[in-house]
Structure 1
Amino acid sequence: MWFWGMGTDIGIDLGTATVLVYIKNKGVVLKEPSVVAVDENSNKILAVGEEARQMIGRTPGNIVAIRPLRDGVISNYDMTEKMLTYFIEKGCGKKRILAPKVMVCVPSQATPVEKRAVINAAKNSGAKSAYLIEEPLAAAVGAGLDISKPSGNMVVDIGGGTTDIAVISLGGIVVRSSIKVAGDKFNELILRYIRNKYKLMIGERTAEDLKINIRSVLKKGRKVTMPVRGRSLITGLPDEVNITTEEIRGALQESLEVITKTIHSVLKRTPPELSADIIDNGILMTGGGALLYGLDEYIESETGVIVRVAEESVSCVAKGAGLALQNFNNLKINSDMEVELV
């Protein structure tokens, strides 16, 4: 077992696309892709994080770049455990004094089996004790919302694998929904669109770069054109096409409609008193998906509720997990080691 600095409390956003590590009194000290590169012949880990991401689609046959989390949950337990060990060690350093307490974020509708897998992976990665916190709750804390009051706040956290939507009051979640439509789905739709229209096969990394660089969902938003290279499905040769903002907007429309419909569903299930609070407080967006240009205005136009994007939206969940752990005496812990603020 690994051991780290005395009294270390660690908040981990164990995301499908990215892992962030928050250290008490230091803030977010690590942000790297959730990717592990493995030599299949020897089962040896060759790289983790950004170095492994650079290998996606560019490795020889015996080397595979694995994403051990899918749709917000663990799909490859062994690789997740090794990845966590690496990230905790890298974030904390190798000073061996005491094992840390760890708070890990999970989607708001993760199953008991999925939650137990996360707890076990964290403990086997060197944690003295491990606890879980739902992503929208952590996002609210990390964004600086005072959720201890009897006032309704709605959080929409758009990550890599899931979008978590919750109404929070008195330190707990009143209404929740989690859908497997988020950053990865955006990439998939972009990839599919380019393949169907231009008969061009592009890689996952290219789709991600295209989404990040063009990212606009507003009809009257900025207009950008970006060259995209891949392999022609007709000739089998390398080819290049230019993709516009309008095309990306059209490709993402399917996912945007699913997200807004889910927000509508949560709002309809919200008690009237809390609905009134949400009109006053608005909707808070967090996560990497919140950075899509114009997405806040799009959701606002579809719901009629003011929407704002949290500062440092990508790190809100990890920060909130760490801050919750620092207030350990104010936590209520259930049998699944999942916490609420009290």
Structure 2
Amino acid sequence: MFSKDIGIDLGTANVLIHVKGKGIVLDEPSVVAIEPKTKRVLAVGAEAHRMIGRAPGTIETVRPLKEGVIADFDMTEKMLTKFIDRLGVKGFLTKPRILICCPVKVTAVEQKAIQDASVKAGARRVYIEEEPKVAAIGAGMDIYQPSGNMIIDIGGGTSDIAVLSMGGIVTSESVKVAGNTFDRNILQSIKKNERLLIGEATAELVKKEIGTAFPGSEEKSIDIRGRDLATGLPKAVTVTTPQVYEAIRESLGTIVQGAKNVLEQTPPELSADIIDRGITLTGGGALLDGLDKLLSEELKVPVYLAENPLTCVVAGTGILLDHRRANFQKK
């Protein structure tokens, strides 16, 4: 059996894997459940994610990636190894070649950590590409022409903003505010205003169900349960859309400012192209209701949500793997 080339979107919230010839074969949360004393891995991905906030003291759930980069090298390596082994892409005497994505402007040390973790997980050769470039390709943008294309990729840990032309990044910024930040904002707001302690999963549910980035959106409400900070007993409260908007408003402003900074650094000719073509939104965080409207209003440029925002990065790795095939074979 021969090894296959694989592309990995190593995200703070989720890991997605594309196998050449098969398409996207894995989409699982970036979570590892371990035995604290021995550090033995008990579960990874969706199985581990179900344990968050529900596991006994004998089980610890770990998110090995923070803000788009590796925070826990050993756990990242173990998680990747489990995922890659599950796919059966390793041959008897061969290992797969891996194309993996990282945020823009990561340090050389952070890139090396991603590369080393991939090699230890079973890669023969590792290629690293910047996430917004790969997301743009996966979203169907033609970035190889001498014209400006702008993308905002909002993941779990970072929002990567870039202007691309002729196959490269012209200007870019990586903002450490994204989907997970919104969850934390909501959790803290409910704790402060409702005196209710909730978990990450509940905060994420509130964001998905009634969250909005645009004031004046349709008002919705959701009933949530948690622990009353005053009595320590279970309690239910109702949370509304305006409450959620207020909780995340400051974080939204940080992303908007990041996009403005990139536009201010963009050469005039490319700026003209962006006015014509608009800005493409990708990543799981891009699914927040009204985010395209907010960015369009603030940046004075049309903003479009990609067709499959969650899978643009990993789809882009598949396209790049096809383009690199000749180079792979030479090596």
What amino acid is the match of 1:245? Answer: T
TM-score (norm. length: structure 1) = 0.93
Residue aligned with 1:13, SS: strand
Residue 35 (structure 2) pairs with residue 48 (structure 1) = no
Task: Output the CA distance in 1 between the equivalents of 2:197 and 2:248.
Answer: 18
Task: Output the CA distance in 1 between the equivalents of 2:167 and 2:318.
Answer: 16
Alignment CA distance shift 1:249-1:9 (3 Å): same
Report what 2:132 is aligned to. 136
What amino acid is the match of 2:150? Answer: M
Residue aligned with 2:114, SS: helix
Report what 1:110 is aligned to. 106
Report what 2:28 is aligned to. 32
Residue aligned with 1:145, SS: coil
Task: Output the CA distance in 2 between the equivalents of 1:181 and 1:273.
Answer: 29
Report what 1:263 is aligned to. 259
Residue 156 (structure 2) pairs with residue 160 (structure 1) = yes
Unaligned runs of 5+ in 2: none
Deviations 1:213-272 (A, max 9, x none): 113222332222111111111111111101111111111101111101110110000000
**Quick check: 94-103 or 250-259, which moved more?**
94-103
What amino acid is the match of 1:236? Answer: G
Asked if structure 2 preserves the Cα contact closer than 8 Å seen for 1:74 and 1:114, the reply is yes
What amino acid is the match of 1:185? Answer: T
Residue aligned with 1:30, SS: strand
What amino acid is the match of 2:177? Answer: V
What amino acid is the match of 1:240? Answer: A
Residue 52 (structure 2) pairs with residue 66 (structure 1) = no
Residue 304 (structure 2) pairs with residue 305 (structure 1) = no
Q: How far 1:94 sits from its partner (Å)?
A: 6.5
Residue 231 (structure 2) pairs with residue 235 (structure 1) = yes
Asked if structure 2 preserves the Cα contact closer than 8 Å seen for 1:9 and 1:322, the reply is no
What amino acid is the match of 1:244? Answer: T
Report what 1:10 is aligned to. 6
Q: How far 1:144 sits from its partner (Å)?
A: 1.0
Q: How far 1:330 sits from its partner (Å)?
A: 8.1
Unaligned runs of 5+ in 1: 332-342
The counterpart of 2:250, out of the listed 254, 262, 284, is: 254
Task: Output the CA distance in 1 between the equivalents of 2:244 and 2:276.
Answer: 33
Asked if structure 2 preserves the Cα contact closer than 8 Å seen for 1:34 and 1:69, the reply is yes
Report what 2:166 is aligned to. 170
What amino acid is the match of 1:273? Answer: E
Q: How far 1:291 sits from its partner (Å)?
A: 0.4
Report what 1:335 is aligned to. none
CA RMSD of aligned residues (A): 1.6
Report what 2:192 is aligned to. 196
Q: How far 1:321 sits from its partner (Å)?
A: 1.7
Task: Output the CA distance in 2 between the equivalents of 1:293 and 1:92.
Answer: 38
Equivalent residue runs for 1:281-292 within 5 Å: 281-292=277-288
Task: Output the CA distance in 2 between the equivalents of 1:330 and 1:94.
Answer: 20
Alignment CA distance shift 1:169-1:94 (3 Å): closer
Residue 316 (structure 2) pairs with residue 323 (structure 1) = no
Asked if structure 2 preserves the Cα contact closer than 8 Å seen for 1:12 and 1:322, the reply is no
Alignment CA distance shift 1:246-1:96 (3 Å): farther
Residue 114 (structure 2) pairs with residue 126 (structure 1) = no
Alignment CA distance shift 1:229-1:175 (3 Å): same
Asked if structure 2 preserves the Cα contact closer than 8 Å seen for 1:35 and 1:53, the reply is yes
Task: Output the CA distance in 1 between the equivalents of 2:87 and 2:150.
Answer: 31
Equivalent residue runs for 1:80-119 within 5 Å: 80-92=76-88, 96=92, 98-119=94-115
TM-score (norm. length: structure 2) = 0.96
Task: Output the CA distance in 1 between the equivalents of 2:24 and 2:308.
Answer: 11
What amino acid is the match of 1:35? Answer: V
How many residues of Structure 1 are paired with residues of Structure 2 in the alignment? 328
The counterpart of 2:219, out of the listed 215, 220, 223, is: 223
